[in-house]
Amino acid sequence: MLATDLSARTDRALDRAVVLARETGAALTVLHVSEPDGLGRMAVDERLRLAERHLLADLPDEVLADAAAPSSPFTIRTRVEDGDAADTILRIAEDDGFDLIVTGLARNEPMGRLLLGDTVDRLLRRSSVPVLVVRRRAKRPYRQMLIATDLSGPARHATETALTLLPDLPATVIHAFDTPFHHLSSDRTAHIRALGETAAHRLNDALDALAVPASRVAGLTRIVLPGPADEAVAAELAREPSDLVVLGTRGQGVVAEAVLGSVAKRILATVDEDVLVVPRGN
């Protein structure tokens, strides 16, 4: 599902959703939720008809023709609904069994920083379906993804989901390990090396236990770095660029509030790449 607010900022998300649909043979639904303006100046039916016209006008003719061709690997349909945007997107995604929600960013800060916006923020906190936040122009299929893991159950689920959704995409899995302050002494280098070796063993054990084909696991690049996860991710992206960063969350609703307020939210705020956020599995 592509969730669009019909603004120019969601063009990037549309392009990526179409690329993914072509690549995977998915059925793509482009959804726009028309929210009441609070003043009741337009009847619901009229507002939905107007939104549907705008939605169809937003879809490039070549995309619609490509999807309608008999040999097309994917299909595309449009859908317009009335209600609160986040609530409606979540309800439809869950009720209709969507595998992925694709969305864009909300707006630019004065200094050019792209912000999530309230609707996307609520999707990330509450969705039981993976959410792909698109930041960059989709000029080609993804070429490399970076999966951040803390070796927890939710992180394992996020890794399995990403490797399953994009089974042919080369992937690097990165694990950041703590370096306690009380070990800042003359033997700090040796201590960090020992912690890194332990972290590498734990990462290998976690990856070997994934419920994905062994050949997929064997092809993973494994990275362990000291320090906070957001700094480790930034350092690895600077060293070896990726198109896509994958994060897991520990739950939905109230549970996810704290998680997205810390590690995942810091990574979302600092990277310029597209980010796939995978909620905790059932």
**Reported confidence tier of residue 259, pLDDT bands at 50, 70, 90:** very low
> Tell me: the pLDDT tens digits for 56-69?
888 888 888 888 89
> Tell me: the pLDDT tens digits for 74-120?
999 999 999 899 999 999 999 999 999 999 876 544 433 445 678 88
What the block records as the tokens of 40 is 């009741």
Instruction: Map residue 58 onto helix, strand or coil.
Output: helix
- pLDDT (0 to 100) of residue 111: 38
Q: pLDDT over 90 for what percent of the chain?
A: 50
Spatial separation of the C-alpha atoms in residues 258 and 261, rounded to whole Å: 5
Output the pTM of the full model. 0.87
- Alpha-carbon distances, residue 65 vs 22, 55, 57 (angstroms): 13, 16, 14
Closest CA to 231 of 274, 191, 263, 257: 263
Alpha carbon 150 to chain centroid, angstroms: 17
- Of the two residues 252 and 226, the one the predictor is more confident about is 226
- pLDDT (0 to 100) of residue 197: 94
**Residues in a beta bridge with 3:** 31
